[in-house]
Amino acid sequence: MKVRFEAVREADVVVIGAGVAGLSVARGLAGLRVDLLARGPLGQSGSSPWAQGGIAGAVGAGDSPALHARDTLAVAGEIADAAAVARLTREGPERLSELVALGARFDRDASGALDLAREAAHSRPRVLHARDATGAEVVRALSSSLPGPERTTVFEGARALELVTTGARVAGVIAQHADGALVLHLARAVVLATGGLGHAYARTTNPSEARGDGLALAWRAGARLADLEFVQFHPTALDAGADPMPLLTEALRGAGAVLIDEQCRRVLADAGSNAELLPRDVVARGLWAALGAGHRTFLDTRGAVGEALPGRFPTAFEACRRHGIDPRREPIPVAPAAHYHMGGVDVDLDGRTSLDGLWAAGEVACTGAHGANRLASNSLLEGLVFGERVAESVREALRHLPAPSLDRSEWLTAPDADPAQDPAAVESEIRRLMWENVGLVRSRDGLRAALARFDALAEQRLHGPSRSLVTVARLVATAALARTESRGAHFRSDHPAADPSWRRRILLSPDGPDIRLETEAVAEPEAVEACA
Ligand SMILES: Cc1cc2nc3c(=O)[nH]c(=O)nc-3n(C[C@H](O)[C@H](O)[C@H](O)COP(=O)(O)OP(=O)(O)OC[C@H]3O[C@@H](n4cnc5c(N)ncnc54)[C@H](O)[C@@H]3O)c2cc1C
C-alpha cells in the first residue's frame, strides 16, 4: 500500500517523546528548530508523570556520587557499565539543582532543607520527592521551561510510525498527527525518547504509550539494541482489574505493610521478618509462586499505616478508593506487574545510537547504567542526566551535519494490513504470552513456545502498531532465550543460578529479516571512587 504524506515539515531536530527524557533533550536544544512529538498531552504523557517515589541524587550530607555509584552497581547484577553509572551519579546533583532552580517543588523538612528519603538498597537518604507524585512535579517544571513556540513546536497526540533513512543515516520520521494526517518530519537529527515497554505485557504499571514503539522504530531502521532481556517487575500493583494496574509504592512496605494471602498468612514467611524489604525481583517472584499455587495475595497496611494512609500516601489511597477498596479497613489485593525496562537502544555515553543521525535517551535507551536491575529512583535521574548529554551531543553534531537530502515526493510504503486481522485480539494475545512466558519466571520451553507464535504473527500482514508490538516481543524473547542463566531481573527456572561465563551483554542487530545476536564482555568495574 502506498500512502501520500499530507505535509512535510523541516526542523533541525525531531524529538520523539515528552517524558522526563524528551523534555530534558528539548530544553537543552534551545535556539534550534525542534519538533517535539508525543502521543499524549504535554505534561501528562508517558510514565514520567506517574512516577511516585522520587528521584535519586547524592545531594545530602554524608553522601557522595561514589556511594551512589556503589549502590547502583550493587543491585545491577555485575553487568552495569561503570562509566555510565559514574556519569549518572556524578552529574545527577547538578541536574537536580537546575531542576530546583527551574521551580520544581520538592518536599522539605522544617529547616527548609530537602527532605531526602532513604529507599531500599540506597545506603544513604538521597531520594528527593514531592509527596508521592514526584514525576508529575518534575515534568511540570521541565515543561514550563521549554523554549518558546517560535523554535519548539509541540505535536500532542502524534504517533511516530517509521524512521526515515537516507543511505545509512536517519533523516526524519513519519508520524500520524492527532487529526489523522500523515506528516513527514525531516530533520538533521532524530532523538528517540519514547519510554519503556511495560505495556507489551498483559499486567503492567505502565501507561499504554509505553509499549516499546521506539525499540521497533530503531530496529526497523537498522539500529543495535542491548540488554533486552532485563525487565523489572514491581511486586505490588493493585490487582483490581484495571489495565494498567495502579502502582502501590514500595514505601508502603517500607512503612511496615505486610504481604498476606487470603487466609491472612504471610506470603514470604520463610524469608524472615524483613521479607517485604527484599529486592523487588525476589518479592515479586514470591508473590508469583503464591499466585501460581492458587492463592490470592494482598498488601495489608492496616496495622502499620492504618488511618494515616490518606495523608501519607494519597496516590495509593485514591487508587484503592477508585476501585472500591478502603485500605484502612481491608487488605489491598496486589500482584506483580511489568514495570521498567533496563534494556533498550544501545547508546554510548552521549546517547548516540549505532546509526548516524539517531540518538536515544531515557527508558528507551540502554546506557548500561542499570545493568540487569535498576536501583529505585534512578530512572528519572537517568532521563535528566543523559537527556542533557544528548542535547549537547546533538548540538555538537549539527555543527558538521548537513541537512539530509531526500526525495520529498517519496511515498510511505506500508504493508497492506489484512482486513480480517483484529488488532485488539492480536495485541491481547501478544501481551498474554509475554506475561506468561517472557515474564517473571522464564524457561526454555515457554520462551520457545512464545517465540514460535511471535514468529508466526510476524509473518502476517498486521496493522502497524501490532507489527511493532510483535517485533518488540520477538526481540525480548530472543534475548531471554539466549541468556541461559539467572541474573538481576532475568530469572530462568531451568537455569536458576547466575553463571559467571554469562557476565556478558547481549546485543541484537537486524540482519535482513533475521536477528543477529552477539555478546560483549562487561569491563571490570573501574575504581568508581576515582571517576566519581
Ligand atoms: C507507576 C510508575 C511509577 C514510577 N515511579 C518511579 C519513581 O518513583 N522514580 C523513578 O526514578 N522512576 C519511576 N518510574 C519509572 C520512570 O517513570 C520512567 O522510567 C521514566 O519516567 C521514563 O521516562 P522517559 O522520558 O524515558 O519515558 P516516558 O516518560 O514514558 O515518556 C515517553 C514519551 O514518548 C511518547 N511516545 C511513545 N511512543 C511514541 C510514538 N510512537 N510516537 C510519539 N511519541 C511516543 C509518549 O507519549 C511519551 O511522551 C515509575 C514508572 C511508573 C510506570
Ligand 1 midpoint to CA 249 (Å): 16
- Closest residue to atom 13 of ligand 1, CA basis: 51
47 lines ligand 1 (CB under 6 A): yes
Q: Residue 3: pLDDT band by 50, 70, 90 thresholds? A: low
Those residues whose C-beta lies under 8 Å from the C-beta of residue 265, and which sit 6 or more positions away, are none
DSSP conformation class of 230: -
Instruction: Choose, from 126, 169, 211, 280, the residue flagged as catalytic.
Output: 280
Could you count the other beta carbons within 10 Å of the beta carbon of residue 43? 17
The mean predicted confidence, pLDDT, of the chain is 93
C-alpha pair distances (Å), 103 with each of 43, 80, 110, 207, 240: 15, 33, 19, 26, 36
Residue 530's pLDDT is 44
Q: 337: which strand partners?
A: 234
Q: Which of 377, 380, 466, 472 to mutate to test the pocket of ligand 1 (most atoms within 8 A of CB)?
A: 380
| Dihedral pair phi/psi, residue 41, rounded to 5° | -70, 145
SS (H, E, C) 311-354: HHCHHHHHHHHHCCCCCCCCCEEEEEEEEEECCEEECCCCCECC
489 lines ligand 1 (CB under 6 A): no
- Among 357, 93, 341, residue whose Cα is nearest residue 233: 341
Cell triple for 489: 531481573
Whether the Cβ atoms of residue 377 and residue 54 lie closer than 8 Å to each other: yes
Ligand 1 midpoint to CA 327 (Å): 27
Pairing of strands 7-16, 34-38: parallel
183 lines ligand 1 (CB under 6 A): no
Ligand 1 midpoint to CA 267 (Å): 31
pTM (predicted TM-score): 0.96
- How many helical (H) and strand (E) elements, i.e. helices and strands, does the chain have? 14, 20
Ligand 1 midpoint to CA 307 (Å): 32
Whether the Cβ atoms of residue 62 and residue 360 lie closer than 8 Å to each other: no
Q: Which of 24, 35, 48 to mutate to test the pocket of ligand 1 (most atoms within 8 A of CB)?
A: 48
Please give the Cα distance from 227 to 479 (Å, whole number).
8
- Closest residue to atom 2 of ligand 1, CA basis: 51
Q: What is the DSSP string of 105-118?
A: ---B-TTSSB--B-
- Among 213, 278, 205, residue whose Cα is nearest residue 47: 205
Count of positions (residues) in the chain: 532
Please give the Cα distance from 239 to 471 (Å, whole number).
28
21 lines ligand 1 (CB under 6 A): yes
pLDDT tens by residue, 503-519: 999 999 999 989 999 99
pLDDT at 528 > cutoff 50: no
- Closest residue to atom 53 of ligand 1, CA basis: 206
Pairing of strands 2-3, 412-413: antiparallel
Ligand 1 midpoint to CA 111 (Å): 33
Ligand 1 midpoint to CA 470 (Å): 20
What is the H or E stretch that residue 420 is in?
none
3-state secondary structure of 506: strand
| Dihedral pair phi/psi, residue 160, rounded to 5° | -70, 130
- Closest residue to atom 37 of ligand 1, CA basis: 194
Residue 328's pLDDT is 97
Ligand 1 midpoint to CA 195 (Å): 5
pLDDT at 262 > cutoff 90: yes
Cell triple for 86: 559514574
What is the H or E stretch that residue 528 is in?
helix 528-531
pLDDT tens by residue, 317-373: 999 999 999 999 999 999 999 999 999 999 999 999 999 999 999 999 999 999 999
Q: Angle 464-482/423-437 helices, nearest 10 degrees?
A: 10
193 lines ligand 1 (CB under 6 A): yes
Q: Which of 72, 164, 197, 209 to mutate to test the pocket of ligand 1 (most atoms within 8 A of CB)?
A: 209
Atom of ligand 1 nearest to the CA of 18: 49
24 lines ligand 1 (CB under 6 A): no
Whether the Cβ atoms of residue 312 and residue 252 lie closer than 8 Å to each other: no
227 lines ligand 1 (CB under 6 A): no
468 lines ligand 1 (CB under 6 A): no
Q: Residue 527: pLDDT band by 50, 70, 90 thresholds? A: very low
- Among 191, 156, 190, 154, residue whose Cα is nearest residue 171: 190
Q: Residue 220: pLDDT band by 50, 70, 90 thresholds? A: very high
pLDDT tens by residue, 131-166: 888 999 999 999 999 988 889 999 999 999 999 998
How confident is the model over 202-217, as a mean pLDDT?
Answer: 98
Residue 149's pLDDT is 82
Annotation says 280 is catalytic: yes
Ligand 1 midpoint to CA 75 (Å): 21
- Closest residue to atom 50 of ligand 1, CA basis: 51
